[in-house]
Structures are given as C-alpha cells and as structure tokens.
Amino acid sequence: MAAHLLDAFLEMMAAERGAARNTLLAYRKDLEDYLAAHDPLRADAAALRRHVAGLAAQGLAPRTQARRLSSLRQFHQFLARERLRADDPTALLDSPRLPAPLPKPLTEAEMDALTMGAASLPDRQAATALAAIELLYSAGLRVTELVTLPAGALRGEQPLVAVRGKGGKERLVPVSRRAREAAAMARTDLLGRGKGRPQAQKWLLPSRGAAGHLTRQGVGLLLKEAAKAGGLDPARVSPHVLRHSFATHLLSRGADLRALQTLLGHADIATTQVYTKVMEERLRAVVEEHHPLALQPRRQPAED
C-alpha cells in the first residue's frame, strides 16, 4: 500500500510539476525510510516528530533534515489533497534551524578597490570610511564592536586592542598601524566638525547622535558609498562581508583555525569551522582549473 502511494506521489510530481528524474529519485530516497516504519494514512504528528528527531539522532546535517522534512510535507499534502486522509500531520512540525549562509567574501583586489574608493570620497566622509574599513577588515571586528570602541582603545604604537564582544566577553585583537592611523585621523576630523560634546568624547568614532558614537547603519552607508566610488557592487559590501573577508583571507594564507577562532571571538570552534568549507570549495576550484589532469579530456578505453 505504502509503495503504491509513493508511486502515485512521484507520478504527480513528474506530470504536474515537471520534476526531473534526479529530483524524483531524491524524493523516493527521502521517503522510503519513513514509509518502511510508518503507515502514512495513520501516522499522526507525534509519530512524525519522532521520525524527524530520529534524523537528527542519525547525525544528518540540518540541511539534509530540512530536505527530508520538505519531502514529507509535500507527500502528506498530496495525500490530503487526494482525500486519502483527512488531515496533514506535517502542518504542526517545525523545520530544523539552519545556519545562516555565509556571505561571499571580497577578493584581496576588491578590498584594495574598496579602500581606494573610500579615500576618494569627500573629506567629510573619507577619513571615517577608511577607519571603518581598516578596523573591520584588518581586525575582523563586528560592526557593533567597531562603533562602541572607547576613545582610548587605540594608544600610540600599542599593537593590541581590547574588544568587548558578544556576551560582554573581552578579547585582544591586533590592529595594524594603518588602522590606528586611519582611526586617529577620523576621530580628529569628527571632533573638529562639532562632534566634541561630552557624550561624543567617550568614543573612538564620535557622532552627534543620541548614543554619541557612529551607528551601525551609518557604517553600512559609508561602505556602500566607498563601494560605488571603487567600482564595486554596493550590494556585495557590508560590515559583515568585511569581517568574513578577513577570516577567509587569513585562512587562505595559512592561519591556524584556533587562532582564527580567538581573533573572531567565537565561543565555539564549530562556528569558525564553517570557513573551512569555503576554503575546501576554493581549493577544489583551483585544482579543477589548474591541475593538468583536470584540464585533459578523459580518454576512452580502446575498443577490442
């Protein structure tokens, strides 16, 4: 009975939705385990929750769990639509939480173009834009960490700065000479333009706003302007993209994953390990593009 229902579902997917052969095979694979253990005409929401929990217990990745749950939803929607059962038990199921996709990092050449774009902005914007880019990219700061740096965070030639990250945890991050000089110039410029109120004096990047410091939105807008001036697509540039580019470029140049975890302020190494997938994909692309065997057409065996 279950096999007959699965075949009917797959026929509908092919006829009404034009599902390709590989898509149909994927649906079949996703549903066979479920149908081997459950009667789809009688299984209730509790049974489906146990089934979905079992997927996680098998160690399946969240995306795989989400795909199988999607297959279950479509299968049970089909059964309800065909009036083979009166309800859809999947309507009460929650999808597994998926990690947010990583943004695409800028290349090193694009970072140079962004910096040049920032330098070409009007004087009232250039210094602040350069400081934001240097600190976000050279130190891997989160935008909130950047705008809430206190006035005394950067002291002369001191190479490290204490940053208060998520959960109020502090970490030391190295700050390049270029970033320190850019931040000092931006602060002098901002204070010289009337942002020297007592509240503003507290912050490295002061502002006339209520908080007294540059806002996250203000930083984002500056980066968009720098991107346009540098010939980049503004949609690709954000504070988080610069932090992501910092991590990706360090890893590509041989940085240790544990060191990167410390620099980024990740509490769990698993959060940092997402960058290894980025590097795996890049390395695979390099091999496919440049390795001599990858460039040669596969030779067919000689016929007898």
Give me the architecture of the 108-285 domain, per CATH: Orthogonal Bundle (1.10)
Q: Clarify whether 34 is annotated catalytic.
A: no
Q: Where in the chain is the domain with CATH 1.10.443.10?
A: 108-285
* CA separation for the pair 118, 227 (Å, rounded): 8
Tens digits of residue pLDDT in 22-45: 889 989 999 998 999 999 999 998
Catalytic residue among 63, 166, 169, 277: 166
Q: What is the pLDDT of residue 84?
A: 93
Amino acid at 51: H
Catalytic residue among 51, 76, 142, 213: 142
Q: What is the pLDDT of residue 190?
A: 75
Structure tokens at 107: 């290349």
The residue count of the chain comes to 304
Tens digits of residue pLDDT in 277-297: 666 666 666 666 666 765 555
Q: Where are the beta strands (DSSP E) in the chain?
A: 160-164, 170-174
Q: Clarify whether 224 is annotated catalytic.
A: no
Q: What are the DSSP calls for the chain, one per residue? A: -HHHHHHHHHHHHHHHH---HHHHHHHHHHHHHHHHH--TTT--HHHHHHHHHHHHHTT--HHHHHHHHHHHHHHHHHHHHTTSSS--GGGGPPPPPPPPPPPPPPPHHHHHHHHHHHHTS-HHHHHHHHHHHHHHHHH---HHHHHT-BTTSS-TT--EEEEE-GGG-EEEEE--HHHHHHHHHHHHHHHHTT--STTGGGBSSB-SSTTSB--HHHHHHHHHHHHHHTT--GGG--HHHHHHHHHHHHHHTT--HHHHHHHHT-SSHHHHTHHHHHHHHHHHHHHHHH-HHHHSPPPPPPP-
Q: Clarify whether 258 is annotated catalytic.
A: no
Q: What is the pLDDT of residue 299?
A: 54
CA dihedral (12, 18, 22, 25) in degrees, to 10, reads 0
Q: Clarify whether 21 is annotated catalytic.
A: no
On whether the CB atoms of residues 223 and 237 are closer than 8 A, the answer is yes
pTM: 0.60
Residue 266 DSSP label: -
Q: Clarify whether 137 is annotated catalytic.
A: no
Q: Clarify whether 142 is annotated catalytic.
A: yes
Q: Does domain 2-92 have CATH number 1.10.150.130?
A: yes
Q: Where in the chain is the domain with CATH 1.10.150.130?
A: 2-92
Residue 190 CB contacts under 8 Å (≥ 6 apart), including other chains: 127, 128, 200, 205, 206, 207
CA 269 to chain centroid: 16
Mean pLDDT by groups of 10 residues along the chain of 304 residues: 88 88 89 91 91 84 84 92 92 70 85 95 88 92 92 78 82 85 83 63 82 90 96 95 92 85 84 72 64 58 52
* CA separation for the pair 236, 206 (Å, rounded): 26
